[in-house]
Structures are given as structure tokens and as C-alpha cells.
Amino acid sequence: MSQPVLSANKRELTTKGGLNSLRREGRIPAVVYNRHGTATPISILAKEFEKETAHASESTIFKLSIDGTTAEAFIKDRQLDWIKGSVVHVDFFEVEKDQMLHAKVSIHLVGVPIGVRNGGILENPAHEIEVECLPGDLPPKIEVDVTDLEANHSLHVRDIKLAPGVKVLTSGDLVFAVVKFAKIEVEPVVEVAEVEAEAAIEGAPATDEKSATDKTATDKTATDRTVTDRTATDRAVTDRTATDRTATDRAPKKKG
């Protein structure tokens, strides 16, 4: 991949009105910083910046052509107009070929893991790592082949192989790729059975109480019937006695 080039001009305008005037002309105000603390105000073409940064990463080093002089720098920060969706300001940091630098490099996973083909899900917890190297050794991105990654297996930063001149600053224990199986929820059949058993146990006393109540009601009914029968019998005896007495009184008395 060839190094992207941006044409730039030094600028004197620093007021808000002057910066807005540059933007209306299709240019983006920018500043180039270096490790010595120097800041150089410049402006770049908005369309060219959009084109050259379309596939760039945080670690991409640009060649800046500033009024006939060249400098190499990567994008340190950019400000966006979220309403218009355009870049309104850019900060560059100049690098020196013989000076080590720290930069973040993005990780790109390549291939379809075996674990995914067997029904797993690929997760990518970390998307970049921090490295230290010379500007000429800085990779624009790190591609990692995950084709052989099986289910319930993971890849760590220590598994990444880089050029000898690139030192990884991120912890080697950091996981950046893992294949997991999706969890399948199973209905708690045992728990349902336990609930039913508990319900049956809880219902037992209620059944006994109901039986006792029914028995009491039956006994009471039988007692009521017995009392009724006795009353009827007593009445019958009384009626017969009264009848017999009446008959006796009506019978003619024998003369002596």
C-alpha cells in the first residue's frame, strides 16, 4: 500500500471568521505538532482529505507537502460537525524517521473460524493494540488469521506475530478473539415437578380437614335423624296411650 499524500498550505488566519471562510472555500484548517512543541497552522483540501483517509487507520502515516517542503505525520485528532457530517479541523503529529514512536494499530480478523462453522459465535473484545517502533516499521494494520480457531478457544495479544522492530506495549494476556457457543435455555422440568409435589403435600391437610368436616356433618345428620325417630316413637306411644285411656273411659261399667 502506497503512502497517502496530502497537499497543504501554511495559513495566517486564526480567527473564527477566517477559519469559517476557509471552510466555505472547501479547505480544512489544521495544525501540525512535533515532539519539540512547535505548532504549524496549515490548511488542506477537504475533498482530498476525505479521499486519502477513506481507508486510513490511526497508525497511517501521511506525507504532507507544505508549500514545497515535506513532512511525515499521522492524524492525532479530528473535529467533526455532526450535523453536516464533515470534518472541521485536524491535528497532525509529525514523526521523525530516527525517533521511536508510540501508536495504536487496529486488529483485523481474517477468515471464518472452525468453531463458527460448527455453530459457535466469534467475538472480538479488543480491536487495537499499542506498539512502539520507528515510523518506517509502523504497520497500518494487523491482520490475524482465525480460520483454525475452535469453539471455546481464544487468541491473546501474545499470539500476534509482528516484525522484529515492532514492540507490543499492550498486555499479552489481553484477549482479542474468542469463539463461544450460544447458551440454550432448558425448561426447569425438575423444578416444576418439585412445585407440583409441594402443592400435593400442601393440599393433603386440606383434604383431611374436608373429610373430617364431611364426617362431622354426616354424624350430625345421623344424630338428628335418631332424635327425630325417637321423638316420633315417643309421640306414637303417647298417642296410643291416650287412645287406650279414651276407650277405657267410654266402655260401660259392670253393675255389682
Where exactly are the structural domains of the chain?
Answer: 5-95, 102-181, 185-243
Report the C-alpha gap between 202 and 169 in whole angstroms: 65
Q: Note the pLDDT of residue 181.
A: 86
Fold of the 5-95 domain: Ribosomal Protein L25; Chain P (2.40.240)
Burial class (CB in 10 A: 0-12, 13-18, 19+), 180: middle
One fold for 5-95 and 102-181: no
DSSP per residue over 8-53, as a string?
Answer: EEE----SHHHHHHHHHTTEEEEEEE-TTS-EEEEEEEHHHHHHHT
Distances (CA, A) of 156 to 29, 144, 182: 40, 11, 21
Q: What is the pLDDT of residue 254?
A: 46
Half-sphere exposure of 48 (CA within 13 A, CB side): 15
Contact 169, 133 (CB under 8 A): no
Asked if 12 and 43 count as a contact pair (C-beta separation under 8 A), the reply is no
Q: For the domain with range 102-181, which CATH number is right: 3.60.20.10, 2.170.120.20, 3.30.70.990, 1.25.40.340?
A: 2.170.120.20
Q: What is the pLDDT along the chain (256 residues), one digit of tens a residue?
A: 578 999 999 998 788 898 999 999 999 999 999 999 999 999 999 999 999 998 888 889 999 999 989 999 999 999 999 998 899 999 999 999 899 999 999 999 999 999 999 999 999 999 999 999 999 899 989 999 999 999 999 999 999 999 999 999 999 999 999 999 876 655 665 555 555 656 555 555 544 444 545 555 555 555 555 545 555 555 544 455 444 454 445 444 444 3
- What is the pTM (predicted TM-score) of this model? 0.62
Strands 39-45 and 27-33 turn out to be: antiparallel
Q: What integer pLDDT is reported at residue 188 of this predicted model?
A: 62
**Rounded to an integer, what distance in angstroms lies between the CA atom of residue 54 and that of residue 197?**
66
Other C-beta atoms closer than 10 Å to the C-beta of 175 total 14
